[in-house]
Structure 1
Amino acid sequence: MRGVAMGLGLVAACGAAVPALAQKTATYEARFEPKFGGISDQESIAVLNFNGKDGDIFASTLAGVLQSAQLDGRSLFVVKTLDSMNYRSGTDISRAEVAQAIRQGEKLGVKIVFTGTVSAASITTTNFNREETVCAESSGFLKCKRQTTRKIPCSKVVGQYTVTPRAMRVSNGQVVYSQTASAQGEYTICEGQLQSNASLGDVFGGLFGGKKKDGEMKPEISSPDGLLGALRAEAAEKIRLDIAPYNRSVTVTFMDKVGKFSKAENEQFAGALAFAGAGRLDRTCALFETLYAQPHNQNNISVLYNMGACQEVLLPEEPGAALAYYAKADQLLTKPNKLISDAFLRTKAAVGRDRSLAP
């Protein structure tokens, strides 16, 4: 095996897939290609104003997201804007506006211009009362003589954001990207307190850190303006992921031993997992290679899977190497195994992406 990929980190974590021991995991940085290629190769692009009542603010948000887009520590775009563009609110882009956008792109010296339409940027607030039973008269410590019901004023806030960008080639007006991006979320506040059972949608997940560990939102998001801003930012981020490559951390979990091993092999297997927990993937994979070198272990599910895990982390640019081991482990299963299925599907998808990008 070759050298460890940049960004490799090893941690120990608990999980349910392997109940016998605390799971050992390895995390690496993987490169994911965009659904729509060609735009990120241009480097210099322009984001002009978008139609719709939130169009000017969204254009500014999208420009900021694309300007900050990075891959392997380097910036992907130089983004130019033109605040003087003035599209009509609430309408699709007309031919005249397309021609104007092309002219502005030529003036800015870019090859790609972004325009589009914000079709939904709504926040709806519904007020209601929730009943709560409280103690009206106490009869001692932690004792209640008489209960009563009171009404608590609450507000449910629901947000919806939908935008359809249009990326055009300045040289000929060809549309090279147009894909609707949507985001939605909601929260409920009762007497000024955010309810932890709010349904918040994807927007409050990992992209923006909107959720606290207990499931509650950050205070700056739990307001109508904060919710709209988060939805706007998520829509812009979805566009960024559509058009430019990106790095994302992938965590691979090693599997505890399955099947019979000799005493020496048991020690090697346990030692491999211990080295993983200590951050020594080099020793982990060397020990798994030693186990795999024995013919009787080459059909062992856990050895095959862990060989695949080593290949995936050490050679992220060659997902087919890991897939070969994962596929063989999967074929040996007599019932589904989530750890193996997830790894098989993950690397199979990565191989598919590589093939689609091949010249």
Structure 2
Amino acid sequence: MTAVTAPSDALRRLLDLLASGASTEQLAHVVVAARAEGTLGASDLAALASAGELALRIRETLAEHRRREAQLTALFETASELAALSDPDTVLRSIVRRARALLGVDVSYLSLNREAENKTYVRVSDGSVSAEFQQIVLGMGEGLGGLVAQTARPYATSDYFTDERFKHTRHIDSGVKDEGLTAILGVPLAIGPKVLGVLFASDRATREFTADEVALLSSLADHAAIALDSANLLDQTRRAVAELNEANATIRAQNEAMERAEDAHDRLTDLVLRGGDLPDVADAVAGVLHGDLTVYDADGTLLANSAAPVALDPAALAAARTAGRAVSTE
């Protein structure tokens, strides 16, 4: 390192280190080294110390700007990814995965509200290892998540089990303890006044969630709520279209059957009016059914057939008489 012989040398060194993204230790060492060398007077050392403190604040500001820029970039990428998804379950998995990565937490999870039951259910998680935790159901106002779902406001705690702001219940605390969680942040998933659920970020150690982290997760939740609502609407549209297609197919089949019945009625009526006998009728009916027809009387005597006669099946005949409906002989 070049010796400091004048205040300008030290100041230039501080600026060079700032420009190169040096660590706080490297910046602080400039002042320490100048004192050790003893070439600067007391007033120059005091000015250099002030400049060093300013350099450290500038470094922290630049680091904070870079961090926020990285977060905004990640948030933009997340919004773009969510907008491209159309399946609700895929959207949910993407939301919790992104939340965990954005805040660097151990576990992220998401609950969805069921208004009719006045409850919110944990639906999907990322990083969770507890089956009990993954099946937690929170009543509105219960625990941290139930309070977020009820009030549509974000809540955070550095130590959930010692935080008396929340209504602790046995089954919620048991699930959280089984997962080993301590610090929890929850923000509402909402479209206007309607709360869809809650998005959570949590750590297994004590952690103070900053205002910036609350704002970041809230921004993600806003994008996520829109994407989830759009995916649900698209899914409902798909189901409605499928049901409509099924109904159309049923109506089309019924119409075709009615047309065939009308055609058969017309053909048989015309045949009878022209004096057709039983063999003629048998041929006509066989044509309508696209098959062969054999007619027997009650005593089993062959009366007519459209092709080679089919042998009478006494067992099938008895079953048909008992049931009062047609019976297959196959």
Higher RCO, 1 vs 2 (CA within 8 Å, ≥6 residues apart): 1
> How does the TM-score come out when normalised to structure 2?
0.24
Larger relative strand fraction: 1
The answer to which structure has the higher helix fraction is: 2
Bigger Rg, which one: 2
